[in-house]
Amino acid sequence: MVGFAIYKSPLKQIGGRPFLLLFRGTMGFSALLAYFYIIAYIPLGEAVTYNKTSPIFVSIFAYFFLKEKLSPWAIVAIVLGFIGIAFISMPTEGGFTFNKYTVLGIFSGLGAALAYTSIRELRQYYDTRAIVMSFMGVGTIAPVLLMMVTPYIDAPKSLDFMFAEFVMPQGIIWLYVVIMGLSATASQILMTKAYELTKAGIVGTISYSNIVFALIIGITLGDPIPTPLKFLGIILVIISGLLVALAKDKK
């Protein structure tokens, strides 16, 4: 669809930042890869919460790389967000644990934030469609390359989120894959429309409801109920994200 749109209306852009364009696509793909992986291995509510930390990291990266100012509320939001991440990372017996799933969970938010931050710079040089194509291009080519090389390398277990043999869906799994794809597409269309019709802060605030839905669906499907400390961490991340969204809306 994007390619057809470019064909019908040629790109109008300055260009000149190919490596940043590639960086945007690579970070977006890597963050999505980490996100899909942790969904399969940790409770759904926790996985979604990790991913929703991206606005917190965007505020930090925008301050350092784009020289954007941090409001007092944004600083409070960042502190609350990191406290929330720490609480979510705590196992039942107490203490902090930064295992592979924790690292990948944090990266799913951090990597997405790097991709989002780079877009703010790229939009000065490239047409929006070119930026989208950079993500789609990497997201299409990289998985194929990873699947092709996996049978020929002895990758360590810690890298199984990148190097894993392809498993052909069977039977009803095909239906689940189709439903997942259609649901994700519908979600993106509706979210885009929402950003067109109302303030970004309102949409950003409402979007955090997906953490609540993820908790409910995850527990319904057999996920353990979060410990009080993990639940507090999830609440802190939600509050942090809301503060960031509302602070941007006031600018």
Give pLDDT tens digits for 59-72. Answer: 899 899 988 888 88
Boundaries of domain holding 131 = 2-249
Taking each helix axis as running N to C, give the angle between helix 44-51 and helix 228-249, from 0 to 180 degrees, rounded to the nearest 10. 30
Residues in the chain: 251
Instruction: Tally the domains of the chain.
Output: 1
Side-chain-side CA neighbours of 30 within 13 Å: the count stands at 17
Give percent above pLDDT 70 in the chain. 87
Residue 250 scores a pLDDT above 70: no
- Choose between 106 and 166: higher pLDDT: 106
Question: Whole-angstrom Cα distance, residue 183 to residue 50?
Answer: 21
Give the model's pLDDT for residue 2.
46
Backbone angles phi, psi at 49, to 5 degrees: -65, -45
- Residue 15 buriedness (CB in 10 A; 0-12 / 13-18 / 19+): exposed
pLDDT at residue 192 is higher than 90: no
User: pLDDT tens digits, residue range 128-162?
Assistant: 778 888 888 898 999 999 999 998 888 888 899 99
- DSSP 3-state helix, strand, coil percentages of the chain (rounded to 5)? 75, 0, 25
154-169 pLDDT, tens digit each: 888 889 999 988 888 8
Of the ranges 15-19, 65-69, 95-99, 245-249, the best mean pLDDT one: 65-69
Mean pLDDT of 26-40: 95
